[in-house]
C-alpha cells in the first residue's frame, strides 16, 4: 500500500511540473548590436505560467531570419554583410501562436585596437584637456 501511495504522489508531482506551460517568450540580448563575421548568440527565454523563467533552445523554439542563417541559437552574420539591421523571429514549437519578432542592428564600425598588456599593467595615461582661456 505504501508503494502505491508513493507512486501516486510521484505521478501527481510529475504532472504538476509538466503542467507549467510557456505563456510568452522574450529576447534577452547580451548586446545592442550584432557583429559581422561572428556567431551571435540570440538568448530567448520563456515565461512560465507560474511566473518563472526558462531558457529556450532549438528544441523548444524555431529561430529564423530572412537575411542570415541560424545554427541553433547562434545567428551567423557574414563578414561582407551589407544591411544595417536584421529581423529575427522566434516561434514556440509547442504552441506556434506564441512568437516574437525583433529588429537588431548590425555593428558598422570595426573594433578599435585593444590595449597591450604593458598598457594595462601600467595604466593607460589619461588625456589631458586644455584649460580654456577665460
Alpha carbon 107 to chain centroid, angstroms: 16
Residue 122 placed within a domain: no
Residue 2 placed within a domain: no
Number of structural domains in the chain: 1
Model confidence pTM above 0.85: no
Residue 31 placed within a domain: yes
Q: What is the CATH number of the domain that holds 97?
A: 2.60.40
Residue 52 placed within a domain: yes
- The DSSP output letter for 95 is -
Residue 67 placed within a domain: yes
What number of other Cβ atoms are within 10 A of residue 47's Cβ? 14
What number of other Cβ atoms are within 10 A of residue 59's Cβ? 7
Residue 7 placed within a domain: no
Over residues 46-73, mean pLDDT: 95
Say if residue 10's pLDDT is above 60.
no
Q: What's the CA gap between 53 and 26, in Å, rounded?
A: 10
Residue 80 placed within a domain: yes
Residue 28 placed within a domain: yes
Domain that holds residue 30: 21-106
The model's pLDDT over 72-115, given as tens digits with 9 standing for 90+, comes to 999 999 999 999 999 999 999 999 999 999 999 999 887 788 88
Amino acid at each position: 500500500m505504501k508503494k502505491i501511495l508513493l507512486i501516486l504522489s510521484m505521478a501527481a508531482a510529475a504532472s504538476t511540473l509538466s503542467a507549467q506551460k510557456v505563456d510568452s517568450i522574450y529576447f534577452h540580448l547580451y548586446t545592442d548590436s550584432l557583429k559581422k563575421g561572428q556567431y551571435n548568440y540570440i538568448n530567448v527565454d520563456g515565461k512560465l505560467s507560474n511566473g518563472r523563467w526558462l531558457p529556450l533552445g532549438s528544441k523548444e523554439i524555431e529561430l529564423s531570419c530572412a537575411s542570415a542563417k541560424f545554427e541553433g541559437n547562434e545567428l551567423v552574420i557574414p563578414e561582407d554583410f551589407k544591411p544595417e539591421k536584421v529581423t529575427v523571429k522566434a516561434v514556440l514549437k509547442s504552441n506556434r501562436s506564441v512568437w516574437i519578432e525583433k529588429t537588431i542592428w548590425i555593428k558598422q564600425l570595426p573594433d578599435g585596437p585593444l590595449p597591450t598588456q604593458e598598457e594595462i599593467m601600467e595604466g593607460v595615461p589619461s588625456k589631458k584637456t586644455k584649460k580654456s582661456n577665460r
